[in-house]
Amino acid sequence: MKQQYIVYYNSNSSSTNYLCFGRQDAIVLNNPIDFQQLQYFVDQYKGQFICAYLSYDFKNSIEKLTSSNTDNLNFPEVVFFVPQTVVELTENRMQYIQGEDSFESRAFVDEFLNTVNSENSKKTFNFRPRISREAYISSVNQLKQHIQRGDIYEINFCQEFYDDKAVIDNPLSVYATVNQITQAPFSVYFHYDEWFAFCGSPERFIQRKGTKISSQPIKGTAPRGKNEQEDLALKNALQNNPKERSENVMIVDLVRNDLSKIATNGSVKVDELFGVYSFNTVHQLISTISCEVETSTSFIDILKATFPMGSMTGAPKVSAMKLSEQAESFKRSLYSGTIGYILPNGDFDFNVVIRTLLYNSDKNYLSCGVGGAITIKSDAAMEYDECETKVRKLLDAFR
């Protein structure tokens, strides 16, 4: 795989996937973000497929916020690029929607897909927690004091597992292992220069189809059972757990408020509340909120209203982001940001970067962030255990 610019959007289903490679043009930005410049890039390449990511710290240009925690990954805050070649893949069809159908491009596609579908990484990594269990519990209890005082009523608190001596000779095989474990609907392999994301995300941040905007926040997690009977019991317990439902509805309200900033009058609605969805490693409580927007509503208008996603911040959003920055021990970087694409017709789809390994090949630094929602009812030790549930299988695959 000699390409330096590759993105694979993998739904792990019979619906459409996209394999993008090569680079026509790109925009790479850091704080402070020039929104006009970014919107100009999107407008300039209307009619073409655009690959994109926004790191969590894109928030600092939307709100008056800062990030001063240690950044070991050094990902740019924004990367948008127009790939030379885009192949649309469905169960029975491969179609070039951008670029040339050539012998070389077909050979690349075949090699890429064969690796993803058949190869697992033999690498082992020495993942270590950035903070101890005791420090995590102490931080959660301090955050609960803020909730008790009324500063916030929910906050997403994150921690990092890392290996700072990770040498990866075959990054795609690492993604293949992550994908085999997660089999997630918003899975992505992202490679731009020295930066890699091996993403097994189950969560959609925001989607545009015509004038309809949809968001599907996740709040509420339960492990998979050892057998069908136990699995069903865990699903039912999640669906009816008052704490998990409370967490979920708080973020639903936040997303409704975000969408109302751009929605046509009276169009914000909750399409599904407390849906239980099962993935390879966990059950999740997912709600769907949507609205209609005017055709003139721009990509940047929508981002400014909705980013970062409420499921990764807490509420009220700005207060929660300030407190999580103080409490956390690492810079989130692309973790809890978003990776997605803009179609030639202007529609787009972006995920939430969770269940993801991030890698800087120049620094040999590999990172896995994980977090959870803290409310007044949270038990700090149980929250730590929930974080373990979310990433245990992912980390264990490389031990």
Active-site residue identified among 77, 160, 203, 325 = 203
| Residue 88 designated active-site | no
117: helix, coil or strand?
helix
State the DSSP H helix or E strand holding residue 321, giving kind and residue range, or none if neither. Answer: helix 317-327
Amino acid of residue 367: S
Rounded to an integer, what distance in angstroms lies between the CA atom of residue 350 and that of residue 214?
10
Rounded to an integer, what distance in angstroms lies between the CA atom of residue 288 and that of residue 217?
7
Residue 368's nearest CA partner among 356, 350, 382, 383 is: 356
Own/partner contacts of 131-140, CB < 8 Å, gap of 24 or more, are 131/159, 131/329, 133/381, 133/384, 135/329, 136/380, 136/383, 136/384, 136/387, 137/380, 137/381, 137/384, 138/380, 139/327, 140/374, 140/378, 140/380, 140/383, 140/384
> Hunting for tokens 């077909």 — which residue is that?
106
Are 163 and 127 in contact, with CB atoms under 8 Å apart? yes
Residue 334's nearest CA partner among 363, 302, 301, 366 is: 366
| Residue 203 designated active-site | yes
Determine the length of the chain. Answer: 399
Residue 244's nearest CA partner among 380, 377, 390, 391 is: 377
> What DSSP designation does 56 have?
G
> What DSSP designation does 184 have?
-
Active-site residue identified among 144, 219, 235, 317 = 219
> Cis ω on the peptide bond leading into residue 185 (within 30° of 0)?
no
Query: Which residues are the active-site residues?
Result: 203, 219
